[in-house]
Chain A
């Protein structure tokens, strides 16, 4: 990491091309699976990409699919950058989504200019506070954050499910859902026939804010320092425990906003078990992006394309959309392999006495 934001374009392009290469390997893997199971992979992929990028509303749907992934990718990335392995973004997402829905169906008299920020704020606070708990447990008591965040995900998912099944159950609806968010709280949709909405712009803003935080602000400097070398950071007098707590709060906050944006932009309600693992895909995206906020944007868009194209692919070529998960697993393996090898190489020669 260098201080200047004008990091050489060459290295940026190099990073992006590595990302694309990893994705290509995954696509090849998917093709292999398809060929082995007697499917025409070329046809499937062309259906996938044309339906994800073929016309404006297709692009809109891809951006829509990318929106929550950009948030969860950022959430994972900022924690990873500080050396904190937060795999609990999914839990923050659920709690944030419920909190946003609650604010949205409770303060129905507010105007949109007030209601939307309020919903998002409440979601951010709840999501952040939720992930702050394992943050404190790690910083103060050295409880392994990976295990606690992993387990607490299920607590959050089940707890929100309880909320909409019992205290906030809406009579007359068969499925476990909350009441509807007041219309003033709905995010603007941009095109007919697509749910593509202003949530994407909020995601773009989040990328810019996190990038600014990481590169230009003291907290970002501290996060990078603790992630690079916690011992050094301690010797410099940095409050390393507080930094870990703060980073966990921010990570959860982003997860909470992801949930809010799904509720306010897509569903208008909270539904139990609504997330197909956005939080976990965020981990993949952060790995692929090497924790760089702009990289998260690119990787999030790529996954958005895959996700939104996959349903159409299933429709027209009877290749199941679950193939996407196989691609995702491949991406994780290869991205993680590259990271661990880089780390080993750096350890071997980069360090001179």
Chain B
């Protein structure tokens, strides 16, 4: 029982950056500008979060900086992709490389440290013990006591869903993603919607990064995201960019992450094989979907 509670608690904790980034990915996929740069945006957000928290002595300032600076970086991505018509994947890879290089570079230049930055004046974002819920046996220990961004990420799932399906902006976004010409002839400003989707995604990816660096601890390490941006993308494909299902994918993949250390300790099962799962599952799903599409085409 203790084991299950622990795994579920940490599943929720480690899923949070995935969920926030995956919501950004869902927006970008639905507007048909798949954001490969999530990894870099998160990394940049994580870095900015801890650095500005240290600078101002306020974790909240760090959180704000993470969101704003990742948003600024996503503006560069948007500029190249939307206005300068650079290939989506290429631009995304470039942002990732830029974030990786720039954070490592600045870490050394500004803080004179390679590999990791652990400021001593920064505390992690507050954790909430939810009244009543925290006293419920089992459930209380799983659901209560998380950092604020954990709860925010849960909040963002329905919010993203509402944005996508209930607001004019969301309808326009999906229309552009599916049939750009139709959206154009209906008089929608395609460029504006595309920019907004990417910038909103940058904001969320910045928060995802902040969860990594100042959510539970207060430190930054080189390449701290370590592929989480791509796991988030995998979750987007898992959920076909629908927020709810995508979030479920994040929780599933988060559980793999939460399990891998414990399983290794307990059973000796290789953690690498568990880590592979999200990627393999998604590739298999993509093949199955395409296979069905092909069969349907040929059936006609």
Contacts and interface: CB of A to CB of B under 8 A. Distances in A.
Interface of A: 33, 37-39, 85, 87, 137, 141-144, 146-148, 150-152, 154-155, 158-159, 161-162, 165-166, 277, 280, 283-284, 287, 318-320, 322-326, 328-330, 332-333, 336-337, 339-341, 344
| Secondary structure class of chain A's binding surface, majority of residues | helix
B101 A322 contact: yes
Contacts, number: 136
Interface string B277-290: 00110110011001
- Of the candidates B36, B90, B104, B286, the one having the most CB atoms from chain A within 10 angstroms of its own CB is B90
Contact of B105 (A85, A277, A320, A336): A320
Interface string B253-290: 00000000000000000101101100110110011001
A87 B102 CA distance: 22
Nearest to B273: A162
A337 B105 contact: no
B100 interface: yes
A137 B291 CA distance: 9
Interface of B: 34, 36, 80, 84-87, 89-91, 93-95, 97-98, 100-102, 104-110, 114, 227, 230, 234, 237, 270, 272-273, 275-276, 279-280, 282-283, 286-287, 290-291, 293-294
B276 A158 contact: yes
A284 B97 CA distance: 11
A222 B294 CA distance: 25
Contacts of B294: 141-142
Nearest to B114: A320
A332 B85 contact: no
16 contacts: A37-B105, A87-B89, A141-B287, A146-B89, A148-B286, A150-B36, A151-B283, A152-B283, A155-B283, A162-B276, A283-B90, A318-B108, A326-B105, A332-B93, A332-B94, A336-B91
Contacts of A332: 90-91, 93-94, 97
A319 B110 CA distance: 11
A251 to B, nearest CB: 15
A322 B104 contact: yes
